[in-house]
Amino acid sequence: MSDPRQTPANERVAAAHLAEVPGDLRRVDGTPCQVARPVLDLLRAPDGARDRQLLWGDTVDVYEDRAGVSFVQARKDGYVGYVDSAALTPAGPVSHWVSAPASHLYRDANIKSPERHMLSFGSRVNVVGGAGPLAETSAGFIPRAHLRPIGETMDDPADVAELFLGTPYLWGGNSRSGLDCSGLVQAALLACGIGCPGDSDQQCAALGQLIHQPGDYRRGDLLFWKGHVAMAVDAETLIHANGSHMSVVLEPIGSAIRRIMGQGEGPVTAHKRL
């Protein structure tokens, strides 16, 4: 059975490219749009809970716009859900992505001018001009030092994850304002050019090779529990966003395994190496 989190079909419409859909659904081609809010919740239902979040400049395919709510699929990971239609604009070019943990879009080419938005790591913008330390985009000015060209990636997922130390925990979070365990891992891997789904069970199924040697932890390894994922930063330490600390923290691997087991969440279910 197809995973509904990655299947662009609801009770009314289905993406035209799907091989098999019920006969009473209307097949539609997606309309590409971009997110025009710093952070946008991707909901399970039009009035439902947050499943994940999208960032400024993320591209989505819109399959339905109904009563101000759009049914979309995110191109970065295939995740499907509902968003506020007012937060979307027609798709346009992007030239750079935010590689600092967070940055600001300023009204003018002056860091003392009012900031318009705070953009999180991974947000995508289109630089159209500007000289000196601030690059001009259609939405304002952003420090050049916080940008990398589209296509230029980072080298070490664990380095990326450590940029988020102290970020508050947020269920379904994908931004510097709040992350959950799988959001942290996805941010780290996408920044390094490694495709990564949105949720920890999907990540466990899709990423890396199983390691069967107990205790053989290397930087960048992923440890999975039922409903949780963490990344090793060395042979003895991991980094993860978790509800016990309510933030992104470093924690000894052995202590984390014992604590999570003691909380009734079970043992490590998989140890995988990218």
The CATH fold assigned to 4-90 is SH3 type barrels. (2.30.30)
Question: What's the pLDDT tens digit per position in 88-98?
Answer: 999 999 999 99
What is the distance between the alpha carbons of residues 86 and 88, in angstroms, rounded to a whole number? 6
Same fold, 4-90 and 96-149: yes
Q: Regarding the domain with residue range 157-273, which homologous superfamily does it belong to in the CATH classification?
A: endopeptidase domain like (from Nostoc punctiforme) (3.90.1720.10)
Run of H or E residues at 181: helix 181-191
pLDDT at residue 228 is higher than 80: yes
Residue boundaries of the structural domains of the chain: 4-90, 96-149, 157-273
For 141, list phi and psi in degrees, rounded to 5: -110, 140
Q: Binning pLDDT at 50, 70 and 90, where does residue 210 land?
A: very high
Beta strand pairing call for 13-15 and 26-28: parallel
Average pLDDT score over residue span 78-93 = 98
Give residue 1's pLDDT. Answer: 52
The domain 96-149 is placed in CATH, from the list 3.30.420, 2.60.220, 3.30.460, 2.30.30, at 2.30.30
What is the distance between the alpha carbons of residues 253 and 242, in angstroms, rounded to a whole number? 14
CB neighbours (10 Å) of residue 85? 17
